[in-house]
Amino acid sequence: MVACVAAAIGVLFIPLPRALDLSTRIVTVMPIARESTTVFDYVTTPAHWPAWHPSSLSVTGATDHSLGMGEQTTEEFRVAGRRGEVVWTVVERKRPEKWTIDGTIEGRPAGTVSYALTPDTHSKDGTEFERTFTYRSPTLWFALLNAVLLRAKIQAESDEAVDRLKDILEKP
């Protein structure tokens, strides 16, 4: 009986095949009363991340400019109570419309963050800013924990981040 319970628990921690797509997308959209080039340059400069994203504790490496294709930065984070370090690599850059980074933690895929910026139809010089964070559940245990607890916490952190971003960028 104990062996059966141990085996059942062990199954929860077996890595899931990549073909089984248990990905989560966290999307936050916010109008920002600033031109898209200003918003783009600010959000794609890692030195600014700790000022507006509550999960970003610090950044090192390339941090003092809007990162281009292939550039990397390392971020110390606390997401849903979990601390760690992620290396972000720019995989897409189309200024000022789109910017995407892929993250790795200890060499393993950790997620993708994309920013999409479009003209705000309600504001002459405004931008609709969309932040999307996509991450995969590596195990069944993570998928269950994500469904019950993590996803909601990560969505709340993302919403707070974009609210802060709006406040910072709209200050005179």
CATH number, residue 48? 3.30.530.20
How many structural domains comprise the chain?
A: 1
Q: How much is the pLDDT for 130?
A: 98
Q: How much is the pLDDT for 138?
A: 82
- Amino acid code (one letter) for 35: E
Output 108-114 pairs: Cβ under 8 A, ≥24 positions apart: 108/138, 109/136, 110/86, 110/135, 111/86, 111/135, 111/136, 113/88
Give every residue of the chain whose pLDDT is below 70, as ranges. Answer: 1-21
Q: How much is the pLDDT for 40?
A: 98
Q: How much is the pLDDT for 78?
A: 95
CA separation for the pair 74, 77 (Å, rounded): 10
**CA distance readout (Å), 149 to 109, 112, 131:** 21, 20, 21
Q: How much is the pLDDT for 141?
A: 85
Q: How much is the pLDDT for 120?
A: 85
Q: How much is the pLDDT for 112?
A: 98
- Residue 31 resides in a domain: no
- Residue 12 resides in a domain: no
Q: How much is the pLDDT for 2?
A: 57
CA separation for the pair 59, 47 (Å, rounded): 6
- Residue 137 resides in a domain: yes
Q: How much is the pLDDT for 20?
A: 61
Asked whether the beta carbons of 167 and 30 are under 8 A apart, the reply is no
Asked whether the beta carbons of 36 and 119 are under 8 A apart, the reply is yes
Asked whether the beta carbons of 16 and 140 are under 8 A apart, the reply is yes
- Residue 5 resides in a domain: no
Asked whether the beta carbons of 124 and 108 are under 8 A apart, the reply is no
What the block records as the tokens of 77 is 């984070």
- Residue 15 resides in a domain: no
Domain enclosing residue 93, as ranges? 36-170
What the block records as the tokens of 5 is 């319970």
Q: Enter the pTM of the model.
A: 0.88
Q: How much is the pLDDT for 124?
A: 79
- Residue 92 resides in a domain: yes
